[in-house]
Amino acid sequence: MSTTQGRKHECRVGRSSGGERRLLSGETSSPLARVKPPSGPERDTTARAVASERPDLAVHVVHSVDISALASLRSLRDTRAVEDPDFESRMVTWFALEGDRRTTWLATINNSPVGMASLFEYRRMPTRGRPDSRWGYVGNMFVREDVRSQGVGSALLTRIITAADDRCYARLVLSPSARALPFFQRAGFIVADDAAGDDRLLVRPSRPR
């Protein structure tokens, strides 16, 4: 059995009967029904549809040679005009320190960077008699404004969900903006209220400075 096959088998054994849970830590207080995330052929069809709409769209895992592209997208995300000559070098340091626990994807159209997203892996403390477990936090998702609603965000999120499934994550969690909430709900994420069952999330706001 190959390594990939073994991982998928372990994922089937360790996964609850309800499938993967994807939780939103959002500001809305309205209970939402749980939506079963796309999987298998349905998810593959979604990925092909995105690719067919934008044949010039590509998504790949970021390596050190992509740091300049990440830095440029990160700068576009923050609209404040602040001089920071060391910004790119700080990005290089951040990328190195994150190590193998963070996977970042870069989306390009005709080789021009248009979007990014990352997935950070949290590893739970081992419990006696139970298999080790991991979950993922989705962050740093950004799509350049001039190419939004063209499948870039969907392509990035598809890669994240596929990676989470392949790694047998117990859940995916994120803190979306109000504007992005419907986008993630369409992908099977739910607000962590009573509909989430035993998957509870609490947030402690920071003190005003």
- pTM exceeding 0.75: no
The token pair at 208 is 């005003």
Digit-coded pLDDT (tens) for 103-122: 999 999 999 999 999 999 99
Domain 21-196 -> CATH class: alpha beta
Selected residue with higher pLDDT from 178 and 54: 178
pLDDT over 70 (residue 83) = yes
Residue type, 153: G
pLDDT value for 39: 44
Strands 57-61 vs 102-109: parallel, antiparallel or unpaired: antiparallel
pLDDT value for 46: 39
Phi, psi of 171 (to 5 degrees): -165, 165
Average pLDDT, the chain: 76
CA separation (Å) from 194 to 8, 107, 169, 185, 190? 30, 35, 21, 16, 10
Yes or no: say if 28 and 133 are a contact pair by the CB < 8 Å rule.
no
Q: What is the 3-state secondary structure (H, E, C) of 127-186?
A: CCCCCCCEEEEEEEEEECHHHCCCCHHHHHHHHHHHHHHHCCCCEEEECCCCCCHHHHHH
pLDDT value for 54: 76
Per-domain residue ranges for the chain? Answer: 21-196
Yes or no: say if 173 and 6 are a contact pair by the CB < 8 Å rule.
no
pLDDT value for 12: 31
Dihedral sign for Cα atoms in the order 143, 147, 153, 159: negative
Determine which helix (DSSP H) or strand (DSSP E) holds 158, and give its type and residue range: helix 152-166
pLDDT over 80 (residue 160) = yes
Q: What is the residue whose two structure tokens read 């991982």?
A: 7
Number of Cβ within a 10 Å radius of residue 119: 24
DSSP string for residues in 67-106: HHHHHHHHHHH--S----TTHHHHHHHHHHHHGGGEEEEE
Q: How does residue 9 score in pLDDT terms, banded at 50, 70 and 90?
A: very low
